[in-house]
Amino acid sequence: MRHLVVVNLLLNKSNQEKGVTLLEVVLVSVIVGIMAAMSVPNLLEEQRQQKVNEAFGKVRGALVEAQTNANRQSTDCTVELTKSGASGNPAGCVLEPFSVDTDIVSITKTDFSTTPTDITFSFTGTTGNADTLWIARKDFGGNVIESSAKCIVISTLGMIRTGINEGGNCVNVENKRYTP
């Protein structure tokens, strides 16, 4: 008998109206909208920083490629850097010239305002153009965000080192592992 009472209670509950009220739909929509509005700016900034990371990799790759090809071909190879990209001279020094979106990425040297110059590697891999290149993100107004900058330091011996901006200095984060 007791068993029948439980079955009857379950059957009565299943006959109740099912569905979602308009109020519940509106509340869920508002919550989803708020969450989307909070995440979109972060996604945009992340996407813009990714463009900087890509440009940084391409600039560094072009420098290393030109240095290697100068040694292979026993001739001088020049990386022609501009604010919008890089190419090689003579042909074959940099196999893939590239350009960057200048609305998002800034390629400068030394003080975030000077246009980068050409860097020529001799057949020994050395260069007379010791320089620091800065690759940074721009805000939506076109101003350089120095805290987002990555740097490439080229020495006259041809050593190429990379780092990030810390107080206007190019700091290699890997070296911090070895400091006491």
**Predicted local distance difference test score (pLDDT) of residue 180:** 59
**Predicted local distance difference test score (pLDDT) of residue 56:** 92
CATH number at residue 145: 3.55.40.10
Contact predicate 152/135, CB 8 Å: yes
Could you read off the pLDDT of 74-98 as tens digits, one per residue? Answer: 999 999 888 888 888 888 888 888 8
| Residue 2 domain-assigned (yes or no) | no
Positive or negative torsion for Cα 169, 173, 179, 180: positive
Taking the C-alpha atoms of residue 107 and residue 60, their distance in angstroms, rounded to an integer, is 12
| Residue 14 domain-assigned (yes or no) | no
The range of the structural domain enclosing residue 150 comes to: 25-174
Q: Which is nearest to 56 in space by CA: 108, 114, 118, 119?
A: 108
> Does 8 score more than 60 pLDDT?
no
**Predicted local distance difference test score (pLDDT) of residue 7:** 52
> Does 13 score more than 60 pLDDT?
no
The count of structural domains within the chain is 1
Mean pLDDT for the chain? 83
| Residue 74 domain-assigned (yes or no) | yes
> Does 11 score more than 70 pLDDT?
no
| Residue 133 domain-assigned (yes or no) | yes
| Residue 95 domain-assigned (yes or no) | yes
Contact predicate 162/133, CB 8 Å: no
The single-letter code of the amino acid at 87 is S
**Predicted local distance difference test score (pLDDT) of residue 166:** 85
The reported pTM is 0.74
| Residue 6 domain-assigned (yes or no) | no
Could you read off the pLDDT of 143-176 as tens digits, one per residue? Answer: 988 888 899 999 889 898 899 888 888 888 776 6
| Residue 66 domain-assigned (yes or no) | yes
On the 0-12 / 13-18 / 19+ scale of CB atoms within 10 A, 121 is buried
| Residue 13 domain-assigned (yes or no) | no
